[in-house]
Amino acid sequence: MAALRVRKTPALSSALALPRYSSTLRVRSFSALRSKSSPRQACLVSSHNAVGPSYASLSRYQQFGTSAVQYAETIVKVPQMAESISEGTLSSFTKQVGDYVEQDEEIASIETDKIDVSVNAPEAGKITELLVSEGDTVTVGQEIAKIEPGEGGGGGAKEAKQEPKEPASEDQPTSSQPEEPKEKKPKEEPKEEPKKEEPAPKKEEKPAAPKEEKKPAPPKEEKKDKKPAQEEPKGIDSPFGKGTRNENRVKMNRMRLRIAERLKQSQNTAASLTTFNEVDMSNIMEFRKRYKDEILKSTGVKLGFMSAFSKAAVLAMKDIPTVNASIEGPGGGDTIVYRDFVDISVAVATPKGLVTPVVRNAESMNMIEIEKAIADLGKKARDGKLSIEDMAGGTFTISNGGVFGSMMGTPIINLPQTAVLGLHATKERPVVVDGKIEIRPMMYLALTYDHRLLDGREAVTFLVKIKEYIEDPRKMLLA
């Protein structure tokens, strides 16, 4: 029997999908289609004698069925974070399955031992699957989510809402008869209206307002007065409770773990020693008071004391360059690295821990430029937007515990650096000036240094130089 060769058209999808039961059944199906075929769906009859279409050919035809088009999904992977960072903890998903995202919109946040890294959508679409869970450890290049490319959620939602409205509007004009039952419906509505009016008198029958007025009796007011007194201790943010002996165990985040590891490494590696001095802040405070408004008006920078101590440290390094050096090499280090640039790490406290963003090339900056750089880095640190480049390197660290009220402390060296300067709170204290006792604003300074590289004479000289520059800021202009 002559076989039929059919064009691959949607109209034939149902017939072509039939299982291969018998040639008679297929011929009948094709014959029926031939009788109903249009010019666009014409069937071509072949004169070749052959068996009916094979099962493989049927499956090939089936793919032209009327099933919905499936778009390829986009895989979201963990981005490259930094050379020294290969993994992190997925702290949170900012988007969930079914949410629409725009291109470059954040969908997840990864916590590393240094910074938080945002994972952004490579293209716009709908999130179809999350491949990991919050709290999981993820590595660079790992797949964490799938996105179905498409328009934004706003556009798709509007179209979805408009589609049901269109058929409703089409049904109304097509026939005038359905308008009549709509007129009947309002006739039925007035019947329901009196029912709605019936509960109204019930509301009027509830003039039990005087009973409610009797309820707010003075005893209740006394109870209200007692409640806030009981709630006061609850509002205190303290881990201690009355009569309780509970323990709450919280896993340290990656940054806290990294801080603990590096600080312990510093104590085990460096031969740490701390030297102290005190500085009279009178002149630098007068300098700031006289020029802060003018500088703020002309540059928009709020002049503080961190820039003065940074500049003083840079100038003191000209006399004691070893403070800016470091020990490197195998076996604890066998090489001293001297530098002709100064990158100052400024310690900034954040909710997750202490971070040290770096002011680059501080030796070539004036006080206003240093102050602006410190302010910008501090804001990025508090907002959690520091990058690896902002924190990498650093040749000398300044930590200001005075903002928290610290009187004196011994900071820990930030390896592989050689020294760290600790600033403390400024307090008025009696001091002897020209043989007289005067009240002056005084600050204690602490310099912790690595005794393997820096001798005591050099460390003390360096700290005294800083003291002299701060007590007479004019010297910084002459240095």
Inform me whether the pLDDT recorded for 393 exceeds 80. yes
Pick from 19-23, 147-151, 277-281: least confident: 19-23
Q: What is 256-478's CATH topology?
A: Chloramphenicol Acetyltransferase (3.30.559)
Q: Is the CB of residue 328 less than 8 Å from the CB of residue 415?
A: no
pLDDT of residue 71: 56
Tell me, which fold does domain 74-153 have in CATH?
Answer: OB fold (Dihydrolipoamide Acetyltransferase, E2P) (2.40.50)
pLDDT score, position 229: 42
Q: Which residue has the higher pLDDT, 164 or 253?
A: 253
Q: Spot the catalytic one: 136, 171, 293, 455.
A: 455
pLDDT of 2 over the 70 cut: no
279: pLDDT strictly greater than 90: yes
Looking at residue 68, its pLDDT comes to 46
Domain extents in the chain: 2-62, 74-153, 256-478
Question: What is the pLDDT, as a whole number, of residue 342?
Answer: 97
- Is the pLDDT at 214 greater than 60? The verdict is no
Among residues 109, 144, 111, 112, the alpha carbon closest in space to that of 128 is found at: 144
Over the stretch 245-254, which tens digit does the pLDDT of each residue have? Answer: 888 998 888 8
What values do phi and psi take at 207, rounded to 5? -85, 40
Is pLDDT of 368 > 90?
Answer: yes
Asked if the bond preceding 210 is cis, omega within 30° of 0, the reply is: no
Average pLDDT over every residue of 160-185: 45
C-alpha span between 71 and 448 (Å, rounded): 61
State the pLDDT confidence band at 309, using cuts at 50, 70 and 90: very high
Determine whether 48 is an active site residue.
no
Catalytic choice (293, 390, 451, 472): 451
Indicate the pairing of strand 326-328 with strand 335-337: antiparallel
**Is the CB of residue 303 less than 8 Å from the CB of residue 292?**
yes
pLDDT at 162: 46
In this predicted structure, the answer to whether residue 301 has a pLDDT above a threshold of 80 is yes
Strand order across the 419-433 sheet: 272-280, 436-450, 419-433, 396-400, 344-346, 358-359
